[in-house]
Amino acid sequence: MSTPTTIQRAARRQQLVLILSLAGLLIPPTKTLKSESLEQPTPLNHTAPELVGGPWLNTPGDQPVSLASRRGKVTIVHFWTYGCYNCQNNLAAYARWYQQFAGRDVVIVGIHTPETSSERVGANVVRHVKDFKIEYPVLFDQSETNWRRWQQRYWPTVYLIDRKGKVRFRWIGELNYGGKQGEARMAKLVEDLLREPV
């Protein structure tokens, strides 16, 4: 008896998914995703949706950060929520980028979009931003407006925006999961974007 080929196994999986979907038994995926199955980073090229709403944390006078005011500079935007384990695993990488790119034309912006009811409480978000020692600006996206504007599906997701305001790269999931070295790869892309003309 021969073992099934990769193509045969894939076909059987597709048949099973179809049967389960038709029977209403397929469980939809969660909004969190590990990066092992994606081609990372994903190149993109579209205008970054402006950030809206608030409140903002870690900005002078809690004033908003607009992407329009960032033209000529590179911006790292990451979607997260404090209860997400995968998001927490990326925080150290963002902190290292914050130090690595300090004093250069790079800013990191965290967009905290809640998943659970406790993550919708402003005081909880403020406390976790302090507990995690996050120093860069954080937008509390309580109504999920930015999540929808950016057509988000997963926590965490990281975007790199170039000096012309275009979203150029995206990383979904943990940056360093399974030895993917996303932290170093995305940092190199930030350096590349800094060298591009405006």
Structure tokens at 177: 């999961």
Q: Is the pLDDT of residue 2 over 70?
A: no
Mean pLDDT of 154-179: 97
Exposure of 183 in the CB half-sphere (CA atoms within 13 A): 16
What CATH number does the domain containing 62 carry? 3.40.30.10
pLDDT at 123: 98
**Closest alpha carbon to 30 in 181, 171, 154:** 154
Residue range of the domain that includes 53: 29-195
Domain assignment present for residue 5? The answer is no
Q: Is the pLDDT of residue 70 over 70?
A: yes
Band (198; pLDDT cuts 50, 70, 90): confident
* Helix (H), strand (E) at residue 126: helix 122-131
Mean pLDDT of 62-90: 97
Domain assignment present for residue 188? The answer is yes
Q: Per the structure, how many domains does the chain have?
A: 1
* pTM to 2 decimal places: 0.82
Task: Give tens-digit pLDDT for 100-115.
Answer: 999 999 999 999 999 9
Task: Give tens-digit pLDDT for 15-61.
Answer: 544 454 444 444 344 444 444 456 899 999 999 999 999 999 999 99
Domain assignment present for residue 138? The answer is yes
For residue 87, the one-letter residue type is: C
Domain assignment present for residue 15? The answer is no
Domain assignment present for residue 47? The answer is yes
Cα radius of gyration rounded to whole Å, the chain: 19
pLDDT at 14: 53
Domain assignment present for residue 24? The answer is no
The share of the chain scoring above pLDDT 90, in percent, equals: 80
Domain assignment present for residue 170? The answer is yes
pLDDT at 74: 98
181: left (phi over 0), alpha (psi -120 to 50) or beta: left
Cβ neighbours of 154 (radius 10 Å): 18
What integer best gives the mean pLDDT of the chain?
87
